[in-house]
Amino acid sequence: MEKKPAVNILSSCYHCGDRILGERVELEGKLFCCSGCKIVFEILQQNNLCDYYSIEHTPGTSPSQIEISRFAFLDDETIQKQLLDFSDGKTSTVTFSLPAVHCSSCIWLLEQLYKLDEGIVDSRVDFLKKQVSIRFRQQKTSLKNVVILLSSIGYEPELQLDAVDKKLESGMTRALYYKIGVAGFCFGNSMLFSFPEYLGVDASEQFLKPIFSYLNLLLGLPVFFYCSADYFTSALGGLRKKIINIDVPIALGIVLLFGRSVYEIITHSGPGFIDSMCGLLFFLLLGRVFQSKTYDRLNFERNYKSYFPLSVTTKKNGKETTVPIAALQRGTRIVIRHGEIIPADSILLRGNASVDYAFVTGESSPVEKVLGEVIYAGGKQTGGVIELEVLKEVSQSYLTQLWNNFNRSAREMGQLSELSNSVSKYFTIAVLSISAFVLVYWLPKDATTAINAFTGILIVACPCALAISIPFTLGTTLRIFGRNGLYLKNTAVIESMAKIDTVVFDKTGTITHPERSTVEYVGIDLTENEKNGVFSLVSNSVHPVSIMIAEHLAAQKMECEKYSETINNGISCVIDSAAYCIGTREFVGAALFPKGAVNETRSYLSINGEAKGYFSIKNVYRNGLQEIVALLSKKLRLSVVSGDNESERIRLQSMFPKGTDLLFNQTPADKLEYVKSLQVAGKRVLMIGDGLNDAGALLQSNLGIAVTENISQFSPSSDAILDGAFVRQLPEFIQFSVMSMRIVIASFVLAFTYNMVGIYFALQGMLTPIMAAVLMPASSITIVLFTTISTQLLAKKRGLLSWQ
């Protein structure tokens, strides 16, 4: 039964924490400031989501009155197309900006939306950007219902369509500048009011001391309650979750300075430390801004500046050319082949589209598209070649996000990153213990020295330098690799690369050079029409052998029907009522033709079931392959797995060390099982393939690298993509990963040394709180500069960066 008892001005809302100033609402012994907060509580309770309140105390926001009619415009298809990131008619994804997100409870609740609406499949929160990405099924819910749900629980999204790309300064940044201004004003004036203490006044002027002391205390109030609020909130939030974060010692130091100051001023036993506290907050906040600006200049985050080098084939005046997707504009005509990812929202102009959106939805279920229908970015073409017209400019950050999110749970954080977090936590506990011991030691002897030593240790010995050494070292390495044709999903890949002890190579398109291999047709002469038919068939595929045959024939393209591609066997289609097949002897039924000779790969051809002949491909291995093998084999075990026959065995035996596993006629399943067997034996495996027939092995391995020639093969199963022109630098990449991890260790040592020196002086009371506040951000910036500059100098020394 809902009650409305008399107001208690000290009461606060169970949901949002706001003070109840008028009539209050009570439910099950809990008080709420309005019916909106009560309704949100009931929603969470009905769906067993009240753990929300155990993460943070009063975590919610007070929801505004929901007027469903306000969101009626979201039923309009035009508006939906502007807001949706993706839709295949069944599943849609949308990203909203939620200014109300403010704590870990918000994240927890927003990632449990699927429990509140069965149509929502999942939701992920980007706390730093205050955004949520939601995937929902259109048959069970709608965009409008999702927005209404968010609004009903206090997280109404921003829906200004014209402000999507505007870069506005966040409220958090503006508030930080306000706090710096307040702290600076109070710091300067508190020093003026402390002049009697600094200069030593005459006894006749002693009456000025208490006046100035009270004025100081008045100046200290906004600094303590306003400027320090973020540190108190962060520290208390961590303690509620039984976590000691880096703001705990800082908050303790501030409380001690203010508490001691209040005591001394009120009891007239001393001048207090208000000037020190104001100076401390001023320099802490100033250091936070300086750090932020430094990080921005060195930022490697790819959400807004993607280094992902996806390219695509465009068609203009009947001619095809490959361009980077950054050059694509609205209205550009693009050509997508079997297995390629559609990089931009487009409209189908030609061909039969069968699009697999597993990359976006997580479910592999190809969707047939008809001419004139919209195809969203991120879908993979599973049929033959199609032509599209770009509707929206390409968002590389969106494709990068898809790539990073694919199988994200497998290798999300390296062991060293986990070690860093653990070290930071225990380091904070050690600092608290040392500072408490120092306080107890000095207090009976000298209270001023005790407070200076205690607060100095708490502030200068900040473990944040440890936390930033890994992202900045590995982030710089990630950018350096990107400049040299190796594109990584995230920084954890570098750590994995530094630990591998076994390298498994695919052959065709990986260690062979598809653009330099020779192609020769052997068999019954083909008519001009048949050549056109064969050319049209292989033009649909992005397999290296198909590309080589297409370049060899250079004929006229014809319309293909019923195109299909059987992994590790071949491709087929119908052209002018004739059935064309190219692939293995068994696939095309060409048993009468002999198997390939040494140093030769064969793709057999049949038309309407009649074996016509074969294309003989003489492989050309990549430049420097023997040097690559020689360098890698010094420390790593090498293997070669190939879907081709054994015609290259003798040649490969002469290139690789004695005892190297050389496996041929391997299906994709065979390759995967081989990688598994190595892992069972305790090996850390790096799989290098072309991303086509090796997807399973790439995903199974500890680290998977897909090698491509024009970077048009978007391979979500890999951890990295390597431009074929840079394969020769593979040993350098692996060695540089090892060196990068050593720089991380060196930065750990530097951070510990820095903190130990600071603690040494703080122990003796020689380090004032203000000086500690200056040194704390300085230590973080020192680590940032050390890791970044060291990594870049090492890269220049090893030829991965130019000196210009």
**What does the pLDDT look like over 703-720, one tens digit per residue?**
999 888 765 555 667 888
Q: According to the model, what pLDDT value does residue 440 have?
A: 85
Q: Are 146 and 117 in contact (CB under 8 A)?
A: yes
In Å, how far are 124, 182, 231, 357, 587 from 187, measured between CA atoms? 42, 8, 18, 58, 82
- pLDDT for 173 beyond 80: no
Q: Binning pLDDT at 50, 70 and 90, where does residue 8 land?
A: very low
Identify the weakest region by mean pLDDT among 39-48, 96-105, 174-183, 436-445.
Answer: 39-48
Instruction: Give the pLDDT of residue 375.
Output: 85
Which one, of 187, 177, 161, 146, lies nearest residue 81 by Cα?
161
pLDDT band at 182 (very low <50, low <70, confident <90, very high): very high
pLDDT, position 125: 82
For residues 222-244, average pLDDT: 80
Q: Where are the alpha helices (DSSP H) in 406-526?
A: 415-442, 447-460, 464-483, 492-499
Q: Average the pLDDT over 350-357 and give the result.
A: 84
- What is the residue whose two structure tokens read 């291995």? 621
Instruction: Give the pLDDT confidence of 491-510 residue by residue, as tens digits.
Output: 788 888 999 999 999 887 78
DSSP 88: -
Tell me which DSSP letter residue 139 carries: T
Q: Sorting pLDDT into bands at 50, 70 and 90, what band is 167? A: very low
Mean residue pLDDT across the chain: 77
Mean pLDDT of 124-131: 75
Q: Token pair for residue 688? A: 């290098």
- Identify the pLDDT of residue 164: 40
Mean pLDDT, residues 735-760 taken together? 85
C-alpha to C-alpha distance for 434 and 236, rounded to whole angstroms: 21
Q: What mean pLDDT comes out for the span 739-750?
A: 88
More confident residue, 313 or 763: 313
The DSSP symbol for 225 reads: I
Query: Which one has a higher pLDDT value, 418 or 111?
Result: 111
Residue 734 pLDDT grade (very low, low, confident, very high; cuts 50, 70, 90): very high
Task: Supply the pLDDT for residue 605.
Answer: 92
pLDDT band at residue 193 under the 50/70/90 scheme? confident
Residue 656: what pLDDT?
A: 92
How far from 147 is each of 44, 66, 122, 360, CA to CA, in Å? 17, 11, 15, 21
Higher pLDDT, 636 or 725: 636
658-681 average pLDDT score: 90
Mean pLDDT across 348-362: 79
Tokens standing for 773? 């506040």
Return the higher-pLDDT residue of 283 and 569: 569
Under DSSP, is residue 332 helix (H, G, I), strand (E, B) or coil? Answer: coil
Residue 282: pLDDT band (50, 70, 90) is: confident
pLDDT of residue 551: 85
Please report the pLDDT score of residue 507 as a whole number: 85
First to last CA, the chain: 76
In this structure, are residues 426 and 242 in contact, taking their beta carbons and an 8 Å threshold? Answer: no
pLDDT at 555 over 70: yes
| pLDDT of amino acid 710 | 60
28-37, 405-414, 606-615 — which is least confidently predicted? 405-414
Say what the pLDDT of residue 165 is: 40
Check whether 531 has a pLDDT greater than 70: yes
Q: How far is CA 586 from CA 88, 182, 554, 771, in A?
A: 38, 80, 27, 79
Give the pLDDT of residue 72: 75
- Would you place residue 690 in the very low, low, confident or very high pLDDT band (cuts 50, 70, 90)? confident
Q: Kindly state the average pLDDT of the residues 500-527.
A: 85
pLDDT at 57 over 80: no
What is residue 533's predicted lDDT score, i.e. its pLDDT?
Answer: 92
Question: How far apart, in whole angstroms, are the C-alpha atoms of residue 703 and residue 686?
Answer: 5
Is 207's pLDDT higher than 80? no
Q: How far from the centroid of its chain's Cα atoms is residue 289's Cα?
A: 24
pLDDT reported for residue 629: 93
* Residue 299 banded pLDDT, cuts 50, 70, 90: very low
Higher local confidence (pLDDT), 665 or 295: 665
- How far is the C-alpha of 692 from the C-alpha of 676, rounded, in Å? 19
- CA 67 and chain centroid, separation: 36
Report the pLDDT value the prediction gives residue 205, as an integer from 0 to 100: 55
The percentage of the chain sitting over the pLDDT mark of 70, rounded to a whole number, equals 74
Confidence of residue 111 (pLDDT cuts 50, 70, 90): confident
Of 22-26, 225-229, 482-486, which has the strongest mean pLDDT? 225-229
Handedness of CA 507, 513, 515, 519 (dihedral sign): negative
Opening angle at CA 256, ends 252 and 262, nearest 5: 145
The strand pairing partners of 93, in sequence order, are: 86, 135
The answer on pLDDT for 588 being more than 60 is yes
- What gap in Å lies between CA 197 and CA 207, rounded to an integer? 12
Among 566, 567, 612, smallest CA distance to 589 is for 612
Which pLDDT does position 302 carry in this prediction? 46
pLDDT value at position 673?
92
Among candidate residues 622, 665, 674, 669, the one with its CA nearest the CA of residue 642: 665
